[in-house]
Amino acid sequence: DAQFPFGIGGDDSVLLYDANENLIHTSGPLPEAACEADAACNPDDVYVMDNTGAWGYTTGPTPGAEN
């Protein structure tokens, strides 16, 4: 498994573009503070979008997977 030596959180945003460089979605500022306040949230969890468009946490990186 690949390890990625960077992190995204806090006031960062994730921007998704199509092949024509059109912005198709943004996460908005990521909720690092919300994770820190949630006892069930591990700081190593990954913030992802599911197939319904809802954002949430998963327990590990998902490179190559739909999310």
Kindly report the three-state secondary structure assignment for every residue of 15-50: EEECCCCCEEEECCCCCHHHHHHCCCCCCCCEEEEC
- The answer to whether 12 and 30 are in contact (CB under 8 A) is yes
Position with higher pLDDT, 64 vs 17: 17
Entry pTM? 0.46
> In terms of C-beta density within 10 A (0-12 exposed, 13-18 middle, 19 or more buried), how is residue 47 classed?
buried
**Cα–Cα distance, 57 to 46 (Å, whole number):** 5
Residue 21: pLDDT over 90: yes
Position with higher pLDDT, 7 vs 56: 56
